[in-house]
Amino acid sequence: MTIKIAKRAGIPPFLVMEVMRAANARVAAGEAVYHLEVGQPSTPAPAAVIAAARAALDADPLDYTEALGIPELRAAIAGHYRAKYDLDLAPERVVVTTGSSGAFVLAFLAAFDPGDRVVLALPGYPGYRHIVTALGLVPLSLETGPATRFQPTPELLDRIAGSIDGLIVASPSNPAGTMLTPAALAALAGYCSDRGIRLISDEIYHGITFGRRAATVAALSDDAVVVNSFSKYFSMTGWRLGWMIAPPDLARAIECLAQNLFISPPTLAQRAAVAAFDCRAELDANVARYARNRALLLRELPKAGFDDLAPADGAFYIYADVSRLTDDATAFCRRMLAETGVAATPGIDFDPGRGDRFVRFSFAGASEDMAEAARRLRAWRGGRGTGGDGGS
């Protein structure tokens, strides 16, 4: 007799992982690969974090912690909001999680019931759509484009037929790298508060911005869930640690869910992360490298025919409209990797409807790799101009 498999098990793969697999196969075969597909820092955790982890390994039994995280880390996160955003947060609203991914699961479970309708902007981080779907919620895709800097607006939300229970925003966003101005963010927060819509603000790329600072929704609304992570600015991706600023009305539900679903976030990572907030110089040096990489790619990519680029306000991505080069970005990326060794991510992960016309370049890697990748892309596209096919 066939045994049932849940429908949610049919969730699509995260395709960037498959690009990374193809790139790694090339590396294993001894060929050069320039990793412009990765969505993570190429640097290790700050030295003081690693030292704190070593000390904790020697001295600490590394038991379960409180479900909401160790008090020292929660206090350090609250201190971060004071220092960075001039915001006093009640420490009991700070919830340490297993990456921002863990925070999304907790927030969605606490805020929504199965069948609730949650708006997410396309292009967007695919995890939102897939977590929402896996939890039995209904993702409402909101197509955005250059006219709104690939971000949702109240006007776009007004066009959605039927009720809305939640809205996810990300500023800076992945893959477009665009930011909402503080006024635009406030307009969205006000829209949601007025209509009883739960706003979830993914602030994972805060700290990685070029020229202007990102505003936090925590300063605008106590009803919103603010999610952040140690994975990007803090360069602690594999440590699997994030946090959330929980709205007071959800805080207890989130605590009970966290106790039962995860018991506690990783203890070693928590002990180490307390030191992360004192590592500004090291972390800001990473951001300075991202800024140099960004400038290089913004200068060089157009010379290789990638001349329709989203404004890269923050994060470490450049989202290129490649519709003049191909109508199949996945095949285009496969061929680009095979012929140049440059790995990039086809847009289809981020926008199932229109992503075949887009490619995401990540500039999180080493500057030398960016320079060599740009040189290879220029050579590859050389002679083909911007009108060549490139896509088969």
Ligand X SMILES: Cc1ncc(COP(=O)(O)O)c(C=O)c1O
Name residue 68's amino acid: L
- What token pair was written down for 10? 């049919």
* Contact call for residue 229 and ligand X (CB under 6 A): yes
> Binding residue for ligand X (CB under 6 A) from 65, 100, 209, 340?
100
Site string for ligand X, 107-126 (x = CB under 6 A): ------------------x-
Binding window for ligand X (CB under 6 A); candidates: 88-96, 98-106, 216-224, 362-370: 98-106
* Contact call for residue 39 and ligand X (CB under 6 A): yes
d(CA 121, CA 354): 13
Closer residue to ligand X (CB): 314 or 390: 314
Beta bridge partners of 95: 244
* Contact call for residue 355 and ligand X (CB under 6 A): no
Closer residue to ligand X (CB): 100 or 293: 100
Helix (H, G, I), strand (E, B) or coil at 249: helix
Least distance to ligand X, CB of residue 96, Å: 12
* Contact call for residue 386 and ligand X (CB under 6 A): no
d(CA 66, CA 22): 40
> Binding residue for ligand X (CB under 6 A) from 42, 43, 101, 148?
101
| Residue 279 backbone phi and psi in degrees, to 5 | -115, 30
- What token pair was written down for 94? 């700070």
* Contact call for residue 204 and ligand X (CB under 6 A): yes
Judging by DSSP bridges, how do beta strands 358-362 and 317-321 pair with one another? antiparallel
Number of residues that bind ligand X (CB under 6 A): 14
d(CA 250, CA 111): 7
> Binding residue for ligand X (CB under 6 A) from 46, 152, 242, 365?
242
Contact between 354 and 19 under an 8 Å Cβ cutoff? The reply is no
* Contact call for residue 202 and ligand X (CB under 6 A): yes
| Residue 4 backbone phi and psi in degrees, to 5 | -60, 140
Beta bridge partners of 320: 309, 359
* Contact call for residue 170 and ligand X (CB under 6 A): yes
Give the footprint of ligand X on this chain (CB under 6 A): 39, 99-101, 125, 127, 170, 174, 202, 204, 229, 231, 237, 242
